[in-house]
Amino acid sequence: MNVPPKVIRIGQAVLCVTDLQASRHFYVDLLGLNILHESAEALYLRAVEDREWSLKLELAPTPGVRHIGFKAGSDLDLDRIAALADREGLPHRWDTETDRPRMLRIQDPFGFPIVFYYQSVKYPWLLQRFDLHRGAGIQRVDHCNLFTTDVAAMTRWYIDNLGFRLTEYSEDDSHRLWASWLQNKGHAHDFALTNGKGPKLHHFAYWMPDAMRISQVCDILAGANEEFRIERGPGRHGITNAFFLYLRDPDGHRIELYTGDYLTVDPDFEPIRWNVNDARRQQMWGGIAPRSWFLEGSAVEAFDGGWMRQEETALAGLPAYVR
C-alpha cells in the first residue's frame, strides 16, 4: 500500500515585512505574541501554547510570504516528501532556519512555497505563565488559507500525496468545488483553499481560548486608535463553526484570530458540504463582508526568488452577499 508521508500539522509562516518596528508594534505590543528571537532583520514569534516559533517576520523590500511550513512526522517523512518532489518534478531544496536545522522547501504544483520540517528546538511554553500573557493571550498557531485558481486539483493533490483529510467544502450547483478545508491535526483545518486569483495567501490564523478574548483584541486595537486594522468580524462562520476576527497587519497581511471549531479525528467523519451561494457558510450572523476580504491576499515567493505571478481563476464572480 502506498501510505503518504506523514504531515502532522501546520507549524509556521515566514512573512516578509517592510518595517520591522511597525510589525513589532502590531504583533507584539497589540496582539501580544511573544518574542523568541529578535534581530535587526527578523522577529520570531509564538503564541502561549507554542513551544516553537510559529511566525517569523522578516525584513524585506516588499511584503509577501516567504513560505508556509508544516511539521512532518519524522525526518524520514521529510525524505519521503523529497522523493515525492523528485517524482513529480517539483522544485525543491533543503534549507535551514533558526531552531530548524533541516527543512525541505518545495514549490507545490500550484505555485505555493511550502516548507516541511520535523526537528525544532523547543522552549518552555507560556501556557501556564498566565502572569506573562499579554494582550488577549493568543494561544496557538491554527491554520492558513490560500487563494488558488484550481481548488479541486489542489485539494486532490494534498489528499493523495500528503494524507490530508477533507473536513468541509463549498461547491456550486454544478458541483464545482469553490473552497475546501483540509486537516491532519484532528481539528477543522490545517489549511483551507479558496477559489480566487492566485497563488496568494488569504490569511494565517491563531487559535484563541474563547470568543471574549477575540472581542478583547478589537478593544485593544480601538484603544490604540488602530481600529482600521480590523477588516472583518467578529462573527461566526458557518464553515468550521469559527468565531472569527480578521485583521490586516501593517503590510496588509491578513491575520485571523479564531476559536469555536470541533474534533475531526473519527475515520468515518463525513466532510460537510455547503452551497457556495449559502451566505451562512461565511457569516452565520448575516450582514455583508468587505470586498477586500474576498479579493485581497499576500503574494507568495517563487522558488528562485521574486513573487509568483498570479493568475485569474476560471470560477469568476463574487457571491451576492459581498459588500
Angstrom CA distances, 169 to 104, 158, 194, 197, 233, stand at 29, 14, 10, 18, 21
Among 20, 28, 30, 255, binds a second copy (CB under 8 A): 30
CB of 174 to a second copy, least distance (A): 25
The answer to whether 222 contacts a second copy (rule: CB under 8 A) is: yes
Given the complex with a second copy, which of 90 and 322 has the nearer CB atom? 322
The answer to whether 18 contacts a second copy (rule: CB under 8 A) is: no
Query: Cβ(103)–Cβ(87) under 8 Å?
Result: no
The answer to whether 320 contacts a second copy (rule: CB under 8 A) is: no
Binding mask 103-132 for a second copy (x = CB under 8 A): ---------------x---x----xxxxxx
Q: Which residue has the cell 477575540?
A: 214
The answer to whether 21 contacts a second copy (rule: CB under 8 A) is: no
Candidates 78-86, 198-206, 210-218, 293-301; binding stretch for a second copy (CB under 8 A): 210-218
The answer to whether 221 contacts a second copy (rule: CB under 8 A) is: yes
Rg (CA), the chain: 19
Distance CA 83, CA 36 (A): 33
Given the complex with a second copy, which of 139 and 148 has the nearer CB atom? 139
**How many residues make contact with a second copy (CB under 8 A)?**
61
CB neighbour class for 272 (10 Å; exposed up to 12, middle 13-18, buried from 19): middle
Query: Cβ(257)–Cβ(239) under 8 Å?
Result: no
Q: Within positions 255 to 284, which residues make up the interface with a second copy, using CB under 8 A? A: 259-260, 262-263, 265-268, 270, 280, 283-284
Q: Which residue has the cell 510589525?
A: 23
Distance CA 298, CA 250 (A): 12
* Nearest by Cα to 197 from 69, 284, 110: 110
Judged by the rule CB under 8 A, the positions of this chain that interact with a second copy are 8-9, 29-30, 49, 71, 73-74, 118, 122, 127-133, 140, 184-187, 209-212, 215-216, 218-224, 227-228, 230, 234-236, 238, 241, 243, 259-260, 262-263, 265-268, 270, 280, 283-287, 290, 323
